[in-house]
A = this chain, B = another copy of it.
Amino acid sequence: MKEYYNPNRESWKELLERPTISLKEIRTVVQPIIDAIIEKGDEALTAYTRKFDGVELENMLVTEAEIKGAAKHLTTELKEAIKVAHKNIAKFHKAQQIKPLKVETMEGVICERKSVAIPKVGLYIPGGSAPLFSTVLMLAIPAKIAGCREIVLCSPPNKEGNLHPAILYAAQLSGITKIIKAGGAQAIAAMAYGTETIPKVDKIFGPGNQYVTAAKQLVSLDAVAIDMPAGPSEVLVYADEDANPAFIAADLLSQAEHGVDSQVVFVTINDEILSDLQKEIYNQLRELPRWEIADRCLQNSLVIILKTEEEAIDLINAYAPEHLIFLCKNAREMADKIENAGSIFLGYFTPESAGDYASGTNHTLPTNGAARAYSGVSLDSFVKNITYQEITETGLKNLGPHVEEMAAAESLQAHKNAVTVRLNSLKNK
């Protein structure tokens, strides 16, 4: 890790800059895939699955038998863990439901607002060596609570044409039944535009590689909404003198093992822990199956030693981390001063991995500084808020003349007239 002692504020911007990932070139690779799906639907989808996943599928739809059979491939402990996670995630996301709002802004003018489910949503779950069944829970549970009518889950099949049983188990537990063996940009395009097998959805969620990300960008300009912009995962850990170096090391490494492009930042105002921390990192790293990835990632990561807590707060807000861990006594006090972060972990016994899997919060979070303007996925992500208004005759008498005045000033005579014809009809009563 590269150490920076008291970097001056002018240098922060450059120091904290994420590597630029331009998807421009990848977008030019992905666009023809999207066009092919629009034009040829399932036929193109099957062909891409053959090409990119190396498998010839007879049926891309996962059968009921496959879904039901998944449970027997998992240990009792894992099934129990998934159930606990499901329960906690459901509890926290159910609590996010907001009641309909009704406000009489002036006599006879009633304004309202109500959450309504997005009818059709698509969930993308990446394939690869590690089955991200936790992401299934994080997306499917709020989609079900929101009441989305149609929930489609796409995930690329392995060489045998199967999805990992943990993915199927998590999906089934969450009440998802339309599961499609399709991955990559082609799956995103299929959900965005619809094919014979895959319904066109209104919004697409989920992580993925650069092709998936580029495809989500492109379809979002045209056909559907997406959850948020995606980038490599990040953690910023802040620790005080009482933090156990083994905990700090473990938290940094759990981010570093994600990939060589993961962003890992350690901030402290107490440099005495650094030598113990280095030892802990070394000891824990050598035991990790993914040590090579974690090691390469750490070589690019930052250790920043500052003078005061206030400086640390300012630096964290400037960075806007996806995950922020406060391993310090006054974690709550520090967190109250944070204006930019995706999710915050408070205190010595709150590792990020708790939130990644099972505590109840969502793990789909804004990266690459997007935490300045974006929230993580939540129940809100699966609904929209429709506004309503009802104006009584009295209400229109109160409000109407002001509307007429403003419409006239914006040179919109017909807007004014929509009030005038109504007020006139009341005069004649």
Q: Which residues of A are in contact with B by a Cβ distance under 8 Å?
A: 23, 74, 77-78, 80-82, 84-85, 87-88, 91-92, 95-96, 98, 101, 103, 105-106, 109, 111, 113, 116-120, 129-134, 166, 202-203, 217, 221, 224-225, 229, 244, 246-247, 250-251, 253-254, 256-258, 284, 287-290, 294, 317, 331-332, 335, 338-362, 366, 370-376, 378, 380, 384-393, 395-396, 399-403, 405-407, 409-422, 425
Contacts and interface: CB of A to CB of B under 8 A. Distances in A.
A404 B287 CA distance: 16
B354 A109 contact: yes
Nearest to A401: B81
Instruction: Give the oligomeric copy count.
Output: 2
Contact of A358 (B284, B350, B406): B406
Contacts of A225: 370, 373-374
A224 to B, nearest CB: 7
A425 B133 CA distance: 29
28 contacts: A78-B405, A109-B359, A111-B360, A113-B361, A130-B410, A131-B409, A134-B406, A203-B373, A225-B373, A244-B425, A250-B421, A251-B418, A257-B413, A284-B417, A289-B411, A342-B386, A343-B388, A345-B388, A349-B422, A353-B407, A353-B418, A353-B419, A354-B399, A356-B415, A358-B406, A359-B389, A359-B399, A375-B386
A351 B418 contact: yes
Nearest to A80: B402
B354 A371 contact: no
Contacts of A395: 349
With a 10 A CB-CB cut-off, give which of A203, A287, A422 has the most chain B CB atoms: A422
A82 B408 CA distance: 12
B402 A343 contact: no
B111 A101 contact: no
Contacts of A77: 405
Contacts of A317: 119
B95 A354 contact: no
Given A111-B360, A354-B419, A405-B78, A412 B374 contact: no
A111 B402 CA distance: 46
Nearest to A417: B250
A111 B387 contact: no
A343 B399 CA distance: 18
Contacts of A288: 413-414, 417
Nearest to A102: B95
A6 to B, nearest CB: 24
Given A131-B409, A353-B418, A358-B403, 4 more contacts: A344-B387, A358-B402, A371-B384, A376-B385
Contacts of A132: 410
Contacts of A91: 103, 105
Contacts of A78: 405-406, 409
Contacts of A418: 247, 250-251, 253-254, 351-353
A389 B345 contact: yes
B130 A399 contact: no
A119 B78 CA distance: 42
